[in-house]
Amino acid sequence: MKTLQSFKARTGEPFGAPLPATTPEQVDAAAAAANAAFASWSASPGSTRAALLRALAAALETDREGLVALADEETALGPVRLNGELDRTAFQLRRFADIAERGVPFATTNDPAVAGPPPAGHPAMVRLRVPLGPVAMFSASNFPFAFSVLGGDTASALAAGCPVVVKAHSGHLLLSNRVFGLVQQVLKSQNLPAGLVGMIQGGGSDVGVRLVRHPSIAAGAFTGSTRGGAALQAEASARPRPIPFYGELGSINPVVALPAILATRGAELASTLAGSIAMGCGQFCTSPGVIVLLNDPASDAFVQQLTTALAGQKPHAMLTPGMRSAFDVGVTHMAAAGAQPLLHEAGSAEAPRPFLAQVDAADFIARTQLREEVFGPSSLIVRAASVAEALDVLNAVGGSLTVTLWGAEDDNADTRALVRGATAIAGRVLFAGVPTGVAVTAAQQHGGPWPSSTQPMSTSVGDAALERFLRPVALQDAPAWLLARKGLPC
């Protein structure tokens, strides 16, 4: 029997007893159980979905102390952050409960018949949305609650009427199992099928790939690396019947700071930015990895301010030893590609020191290695000679979850061009603050052009995340009994 081992993030020691890896047969069984649960769940009213989601939120909160302690051992993210993340996860579950209860998944477009010949005349049409089917959900390492077993993908899929099979992340196996135990208790207490939420664990083609290939799986949701996400997306596309695969992948999140704002608020902004780069040891998909500065004395001063502020940051241990060593490799590559280090210290075996380097726009544009995401507390200052060159930098980035524009308060040709350049490559454009921190709200868009996501028309955070799992269907001349269901699938 294959087994899996959890580790303590701060020391690298084995943590707890080995866990059994899911067998290929068990993967198939989880997908089949999810499919068996699909008929009743997809036809369930909003009140039933809301009751489940709220009970799951409450279960997390009730077990808060034990969950946070376990998560802290496995991830080193610290109790403050982890309690906040648990709050956010419960908030998301309740928000999607409200969305389901309000009837959002059942909303219809009614289009009464118009008499007469086409094109103006047409039969009675009603457009509704049907749930896709069981969703394969791949947990992320860096959000052990909010992008894991009961994270936003699971919450939005359940609210949409889709069962979920979670692929647990190897970085927090014990936590995943404990949360999954809570899920099973809640399902039982609500007389819902155990297979409505399944979980598998293990690596490679025995588990994750097999799940994506399973004929009962109707969609994939993933948060993680570009390489891992691209490989799973290729599997989803290569199926005899391809399925949508919603992957949030790598992102380097440019921050463009114009000289005028740096001249007046440089020290404050440097401190804020340094905090964002080092926050959570830089292990955020929205971590600001590129700082674009125009050639100006205020920019020169800001480079000094940022270097000083970042030197004062003390990042905690990384999530896994693999990420820790990948960080060193990443910053070495960046230096080798011509980025001039401003801050480059060795760090400890578990916790890195922040890395900051600088490069000219022309080099940044010419060398793809400088545009690769370095997961961890690293950022690269890119110096541009003009707004036009700053736009070339954004264009070279090509796709990002976020772009931040500091100093765009006035309407002029430069700011309009920068807004245009930013919206062309990002899912979210910020005009104040830092990109880390993704609000769970109605207007959020977490997903931008490739490589930041595989489906940039969709979002994995915020109310619209639900839409990923619903497909439109038009009913033509539908009978009265079907219309009386008001968008609830049969």
The residues in 468-487 that bind its own copies, with binding defined as CB under 8 A, are 471-479, 481-482
**Cβ proximity to its own copies, 59 vs 357, nearer residue:** 59
CA distances from 444 to 77, 166, 243 (A): 25, 24, 25
First to last CA, the chain: 42
**Helices 259-278 & 297-311 angle (0-180, nearest 10):** 20
CB of 123 to its own copies, least distance (A): 7
Among 196, 440, 465, 488, binds its own copies (CB under 8 A): 440
Residues 3 to 42: which contact its own copies by CB under 8 A?
A: 39
CB environment 458-484: b (16+ within 10 A), e (fewer): bbbbbbbbbbbbbbeeebeebeeeeee
Binding flag, residue 408, its own copies (CB under 8 A)? yes
Angstrom CA distances, 161 to 115, 199, 200, 322, 464, stand at 36, 18, 21, 37, 15
CB 186 to its own copies: min, Å: 21
In the complex, least distance from residue 88 CB atom to its own copies, rounded to whole angstroms: 4
Residue 275 as a binder of its own copies (CB under 8 A): the answer is no
- What's the CA angle centered on 26, arms 22 and 27, to 5 degrees? 85
125-131 vs 109-111, strand pairing mode: antiparallel
Query: b vs e for 167-183, b when ≥16 Cβ sit within 10 Å of the residue's Cβ?
Result: bbbbbbbbbbbbbbebb
Map the footprint of its own copies across residues 108-147, applying CB under 8 A.
Answer: 109-111, 114, 118-120, 122-123, 125-127, 130, 133
In the complex, the smallest distance separating the C-beta of residue 254 from its own copies, rounded to whole angstroms, is: 15
373 noted as active-site residue: no
**204 or 479: whose CB is closer to its own copies?**
479
In the range 285-314, which residues lie near its own copies by CB under 8 A? none
Catalytic entry in 281, 285, 373, 389 = 285
C-beta closer to its own copies: residue 8 or 485: 485
In 226-317, beta strands by DSSP E? 245-248, 254-257, 290-294
Least CB distance from residue 53 to its own copies, whole Å? 15
The span from the CA of 374 to the CA of 14, in Å, is 27
Task: Convert residues 229-248 into a mask of x (bound to its own copies by CB under 8 A) and - (unbound).
Answer: --------x---xx-x----
Encoded one letter per residue, x for contact with its own copies by CB under 8 A and - for no contact, window 160-199 reads: ----------------------------------------
Per annotation, catalytic residue among 74, 85, 101, 248: 248
490 catalytic? Reply is no
196 vs 218 by CB, closer to its own copies: 218
80 binds its own copies (CB under 8 A): no
Binding positions for its own copies, 95-114, rule CB under 8 A: 109-111, 114
Distance (Å) of CA 261 to CA 2, 266, 296: 57, 7, 12
SS3 label, residue 221: strand
Q: Which of residues 370-399 bind its own copies (CB under 8 A)?
A: 398-399
- CB of 46 or CB of 448, closer to its own copies: 448
Amino acid at 231: A
* Residues between 325 and 354 with contacts to its own copies, criterion CB under 8 A: none
Per CB under 8 A, 429 contacts its own copies: yes
18/215 with CB nearer its own copies: 215
Window of 161-169, 196-204, 292-300, 410-418 that interacts with its own copies by CB under 8 A: 410-418
Q: Does 430 bind its own copies (CB under 8 A)?
A: yes
Cβ neighbours of residue 81 closer than 8 Å, sequence gap 6 or more: 280
Candidate ranges 54-62, 277-285, 332-340, 434-442; the one touching its own copies (CB under 8 A): 434-442
Tally of CB atoms within 10 A around 122: 15
Q: Taking Cα atoms as reference points, which of 152, 159, 154, 164 lies closest to residue 199? A: 164
Check if the beta carbon of residue 451 is closer than 8 Å to that of residue 226: yes
Residue in 54, 81, 88, 167 binding its own copies, rule: CB under 8 A: 88
Strands (E), 335-454: 340-343, 355-360, 378-384, 400-406, 426-430
Q: Contact at 8 Å (CB) between 228 and 245?
A: no
Backbone angles phi and psi of 73, in degrees to 5: -60, -45
CA 479/CA 374 separation, integer angstroms: 57
Q: Which of 167, 172, 353, 428 binds its own copies (CB under 8 A)?
A: 428
The values of phi and psi at residue 380, to 5°, are -125, 120
Smaller CB separation from its own copies, 119 or 204: 119
- Shortest Å distance, C-beta 314 to its own copies: 23
Could you tell me the smallest distance in angstroms from the CB atom of residue 120 to its own copies? 7
Give the separation between CA 190 and CA 406, rounded to whole angstroms. Answer: 49
- Piece of the chain touching its own copies by CB under 8 A; list 179-187, 252-260, 379-387, 431-439: 431-439
Is 345 or 409 the residue whose CB approaches its own copies more closely? 409
**Residue ranges of the alpha helices (H) in 105-147?**
none
Using CB under 8 A, count the residues that bind its own copies. Answer: 76
Q: Which is nearer to its own copies, 207 or 440 (CB)?
A: 440
Q: Which residues are catalytically annotated?
A: 248, 285
